[in-house]
A and B are shown apart, each in its own frame.
Chain A
């Protein structure tokens, strides 16, 4: 038998090692799963994790890495702030959708004007929309004590309905032959978010993600606000003793993470997605939760985790094409990865000893 002995602080080595262990365990379990389903496990794993970067078609898939990682990192860096403080915004998917709708609304209202201010105004609208959507659970928690977990999650479903309504109603493309969906913003230069350097996948959303990482890193490590966030998460009473106002922190964390998710949505609708459709929400908001945890809520970790998650998306598509693996493979992988991470986490918090 084994015995668990709590550690006073988590050793850095284990903090770094457990995500790697979790990824390896996911690959092994995934391989077993593929074998059970009748696929070649080695080929499947290689297709998902290796081929997108170094395989024969890598020149097509490599740019996709940044395209997918951008929104994930942008959303996750905001979520990490709240998770550190024990504030659970799990409705980033909804904030992402609303941000996209608000940003697109600005573009569609301005159409077909060509002006330099349109794109910045869209970014602002996206941020405000996401922020407002995030502030709903924040205010309901502050005023009434309602669980932000449940409210933010319910608002995802509401946001999806709003997107569907927009696609079928107010935002429907008048020149779209009565198909649902808005105008395609990629074909509207003033509002589009194009690839800045060809064949890199770099668009404004990726740059925003980089800025978000640097700013959150600075805030968390050097600014008193980051200290307050960490204190509130680790010991709420100590935080109040230090002068933290919990309600303000709730509003701040949900507002900021909502705004970042909203901006991510805006860059998506103006770039890779192009238009508001019924199924605009593609799950980035949920996957970003995994990215935040896998990155240990640390900006640098989130960078790597975001790239890795993006890799599984691209690899999953590749595997679907090349090996006819089911499309949902990626989702299963992401779920397993989070399980393994949470499980291995015990190594950072406890010392495991053999019982005498």
Chain B
């Protein structure tokens, strides 16, 4: 018999990295920027966070370092897409490849080293799980009830109109990209500091891409991101439980589950949007389009 509360706690832990990264990407996309470099920023955060936590013995400082690393990486993307007007898809991809390479290069000394222990928080959940859960209403409120959030949505919806009204499109977008970077960095660090407890090359294993899919699944709504992250966490935990229970299915096939689940969820939500009654098109109007103020 499986204890449902224990499973739920495991699920919360498995969902947290994705929750952070997807909330960050959601804000970036609501500002009209598609950053496919989430995976690269996550792995950067995973290494920087692990290294800082190891050096200082403080997981909290580790997460702070991870956020900074995420921001630094995201600023490469911001410089290329916002100032040099490069293609966002290609640049995001480059960021992922670069992040994976850079961490493989600098991560060697940390292989086989153990992470310092996370402090426990209320109800036996660590503070990062709580922070992730708190970020959901915070991001929702910020986007839908605050003035900066309104401006951010306006910039993402129609950058020409926002520019005509005098809003600084580029500055808003750079801020949103930085927020996405910080969140992805912390999400990545959660994997190295709180889940796996060590550093291995390429350890994010597609979590960044899953986060991107979950933003689509969530229809750009923070509560939807929470649902998506929990769904993903559930599939991961279930898959691990089945492995532990010794089901007669090869381990390699069980570990496919999160990726297959992501595809299925993506297809279902895309189909609903395509054939749904309302049309539901809630993607930001200027998503992925470069902005260049002519004259």
Binding site for B on A (CB under 8 A): 4, 6, 88, 90, 140, 143-147, 149-151, 153-158, 161-162, 164-165, 168-169, 286, 289-290, 293, 326-336, 338-339, 342-343, 345-346, 349-350
Verify if B200 is at the interface (C-beta below 8 Å from A).
no
* Structural contact, B250 and A146, CB atoms closer than 8 A: no
Residues of A within 8 Å of B212, CB to CB, are 150
Among candidates B79, B80, B87, B101, residue contacting A328 with C-beta atoms closer than 8 Å: B101
* Structural contact, A328 and B76, CB atoms closer than 8 A: no
Of the A-B pairs whose beta carbons lie under 8 Å apart in the complex, a sample of 7, sorted by A's number, is A147-B216, A150-B266, A151-B263, A156-B206, A339-B91, A342-B90, A343-B80
* Structural contact, B259 and A149, CB atoms closer than 8 A: no
Q: Please give me the 10 A-B residue pairs with the lowest Cβ-Cβ distance, nearest first.
A: A335-B98, A331-B101, A328-B104, A165-B252, A342-B86, A338-B94, A328-B105, A144-B271, A332-B101, A145-B274
Residues of B within 8 Å of A350, CB to CB, are 85
Verify if B205 is at the interface (C-beta below 8 Å from A).
yes
Q: For residue A339, which residue of chain B has the nearest CB?
A: B94
Smallest distance from the beta carbon of B66 to chain A beta carbons, Å?
19
Q: How many A-B residue pairs have CB under 8 A?
A: 142
Verify if B58 is at the interface (C-beta below 8 Å from A).
no
Verify if B131 is at the interface (C-beta below 8 Å from A).
no
* Structural contact, A144 and B250, CB atoms closer than 8 A: no
* Structural contact, B98 and A168, CB atoms closer than 8 A: no
Bound complex: CA of A333 vs CA of B255, how far in Å? 31
Within B251-273, the residues touching A (CB, 8 Å) are 252-253, 255-256, 259-260, 262-263, 266-267, 270-271, 273
* Structural contact, B213 and A150, CB atoms closer than 8 A: yes
Known A328-B104, A342-B84: A335·B270 in contact at CB below 8 Å? no
Bound complex: CA of A343 vs CA of B95, how far in Å? 13
* Structural contact, A332 and B86, CB atoms closer than 8 A: no
* Structural contact, B256 and A145, CB atoms closer than 8 A: no
* Structural contact, A335 and B102, CB atoms closer than 8 A: yes
* Structural contact, A338 and B252, CB atoms closer than 8 A: no
* Structural contact, A157 and B259, CB atoms closer than 8 A: yes
Bound complex: CA of A4 vs CA of B263, how far in Å? 40
Bound complex: CA of A331 vs CA of B86, how far in Å? 21
Q: For residue B81, which residue of chain A has the nearest CB?
A: A342
Among candidates A88, A145, A153, residue contacting B209 with C-beta atoms closer than 8 Å: A153
Verify if B10 is at the interface (C-beta below 8 Å from A).
no
Q: For residue B208, which residue of chain A has the nearest CB?
A: A153
* Structural contact, A88 and B89, CB atoms closer than 8 A: yes
Q: For residue A345, which residue of chain B has the nearest CB?
A: B86
Bound complex: CA of A85 vs CA of B76, how far in Å? 26
Known A90-B93, A153-B209, A290-B97: A147·B259 in contact at CB below 8 Å? no
Q: For residue A90, which residue of chain B has the nearest CB?
A: B93
Among candidates A88, A154, A331, residue contacting B206 with C-beta atoms closer than 8 Å: A154
Bound complex: CA of A97 vs CA of B191, how far in Å? 27
Residues of B within 8 Å of A328, CB to CB, are 101-102, 104-105, 201
Q: B36, B97, B216, B259 — which one has the most chain A CB atoms within 10 A of its CB?
A: B97
Q: For residue A278, which residue of chain B has the nearest CB?
A: B252
* Structural contact, B104 and A327, CB atoms closer than 8 A: yes
Residues of A within 8 Å of B106, CB to CB, are 326
* Structural contact, A154 and B259, CB atoms closer than 8 A: yes
Bound complex: CA of A327 vs CA of B102, how far in Å? 11
* Structural contact, A164 and B84, CB atoms closer than 8 A: no
Verify if B100 is at the interface (C-beta below 8 Å from A).
yes
Verify if B292 is at the interface (C-beta below 8 Å from A).
yes
Smallest distance from the beta carbon of B77 to chain A beta carbons, Å?
9
| Binary contact track B205-240/A, C-beta < 8 Å → 1, others 0 | 110011011001000000000000000000000000
**Extra contacts besides A140-B270, A149-B36, A328-B101 (4): CB < 8 Å:** A147-B270, A331-B101, A339-B76, A342-B86
